[in-house]
Amino acid sequence: MTVFGIGVSYGVATLFAMFSGMPIAFALGAVAVVFMGIYMPAASLDTVTQNVYEEMASITLLSIPLFILKGAAIGKSRAGQDLYSALHAWLHRVPGGLGVANVFACALFAAMAGSSPATCSAIGSAGIPEMRKRGYSGGFAAGIIAAGGTLGILLPPSITMILFAVASEKSLGRLFLAGIGPGLLLVTLFGVYAVMRFRKEYAAASAAYDTTGAESAILVHDEFTMAERFSSLPRVLPFVLLLTGVMIALYGGYATPSETAGLGGLLALVLIALIYSVWRPSDLAPILTSTIRESTMLMLIIGMSLLYSYVMSYLHISQSAAESIVAMHLPRWELLVAILVMVVILGFFLPPVSIILMTAPIVLPPLRAANFDIIWFGIVMTIVMEMGLIHPPVGLNIFVIRNVAPDIPLRDVIFGTLPFVLLMMLAVLILCFVPDIATGFPDLVLGPEGSK
């Protein structure tokens, strides 16, 4: 069979395995092993475990469970809710300040946890009920949290960035720094939309009150004294200092990513023990259980995805696909659009972890040939994958929101996230015209790539 035929059958078999309801890790591993048995030497089956181990034997990947531990320690305590409450107290005078506070809370929590579902769950469990109580529509409240949660895969310490660094053989520190500018861009766009949407809902509620006398909680203004504002800070500041300290240790060259992750996880456990008295075995059990479950799931997906990519490479599927893309002689921007459209389509069915590990061998060679900055592309690709977290059919954050707020109809949740999908598209467009938003900060801190 030709390489093209093998590639088509490989893709069809993968889709069939995934749509059968099989977990993603097992689906990728099963397809890879079957094709190894059919098209590769029989002895290759004896090396499956060795291949998976060698592919995963990366010191960078060690940081993933440690960052997950830090996120679980914060997410399973009251730290997320206290962070949100403090931001609300300081932003309540801004029109739509509660919505803006949720956006900032998602960004800060994402920077501490590095996980999108954890951010959605921790901030959503406190933020959505408060927004609903104050008259925000269900779709608006759900959309803010679902979209804010996606920042978990863009802002450092992003687990997705760790995987992209491994797949592209690029500096993890440079990737982390490159995510800060675009992350702030998205926070700004989300915040501006929250203000505009609030004004619209406020105007509609005012018109309804003038005509029918129907009162809405959105018309009621919260007031906080200066003493109440400052009283909200003591529990929040230690975690902000933790975030700052971890970033200084990483970017200052004082610790490797794995050492930084371990330090962050340990300090997070110490902080929740001191501030929230979470130190008993019964208190720590949910944190450790969550860490083990999420780490095991992710590492299994990573291992099977790397095996899947190895088989693709051995059978020359990825090389042939890259050569075919190059042979089309597309102008560089049309090439980028074609690749991003492919990522969007994959995002309908796959999580970011699988998309990166499955597509990197295919898309990176032609992008390098077209002289694209791979660090910049990693950021753009991450934002495109963020869209997949808030649109069906996979839409992981949508299902997290459904668990946090089951009273909000699924239709409202989906329509509430669509404006944020458009904002992410706008962010990608801005990054295409102003790439320095992503590349300027790492060049400033670490120097231009290749200069050292």
Compute the chain's Rg from CA coordinates. Answer: 23
Q: Is residue 280 part of a domain?
A: yes
- d(C-alpha 280, C-alpha 282), whole Å: 5
* Contact between 107 and 183 (Cβ < 8 Å): yes
Q: Is residue 20 part of a domain?
A: no
Q: What is the DSSP string of 253-267?
A: TSS-HHHHHHHHHHH
Burial of 262-287, coded b for 16+ CB within 10 Å and e otherwise, reads: bbbbebbbebbbebeebeeeeebeeb
Distances from the Cα of 35 to the Cα of 98, 284, 388, angstroms? 53, 43, 29
Task: Out of 6-15, 81-90, 187-196, 438-447, give the one with best mean pLDDT.
Answer: 187-196
Q: What is the pTM of this model?
A: 0.79
pLDDT at residue 224 above 60? Answer: yes
Q: What is the pLDDT of residues 247-269, one digit of tens each?
A: 777 767 677 777 888 888 888 88
Q: What is the pLDDT of residues 182-205, one digit of tens each?
A: 999 999 999 999 999 988 888 888
- d(C-alpha 30, C-alpha 47), whole Å: 15
Which of 351, 353, 349 has the alpha carbon at shortest distance from 305?
353
Q: What is the DSSP string of 52-106?
A: HHHHH--TTTTHHHHHHHHHHHHHTSSHHHHHHHHHHHHHTTSTTHHHHHHHHHH
* Contact between 413 and 146 (Cβ < 8 Å): yes
Q: Is residue 27 part of a domain?
A: no
The structure tokens 């509660």 sit at 98
- The confidence score (pLDDT) of residue 439 equals 92
Q: Is residue 425 part of a domain?
A: no
Q: Is residue 169 part of a domain?
A: yes
More confident residue, 214 or 337: 337
Q: What is the pLDDT of residues 397-435, one digit of tens each?
A: 887 788 778 888 888 888 999 999 999 999 999 999 999
- d(C-alpha 41, C-alpha 44), whole Å: 6
Cis status of the peptide bond prior to 157, with omega within 30 of 0: yes
- The confidence score (pLDDT) of residue 394 equals 62
pLDDT at residue 451 above 60? Answer: no
Work out the end-to-end distance of the chain between its first and last CA atoms, rounded to an integer number of angstroms. 47
Domain count, the chain: 1
- d(C-alpha 184, C-alpha 187), whole Å: 5
- The confidence score (pLDDT) of residue 452 equals 47
Q: Is residue 137 part of a domain?
A: yes
Q: Is residue 359 part of a domain?
A: no
Alpha-carbon dihedral angle through residues 205, 100, 175, 258, given to the nearest 10 degrees: -120
Q: Is residue 15 part of a domain?
A: no
> Domain range holding 287?
60-304+394-416+435-446
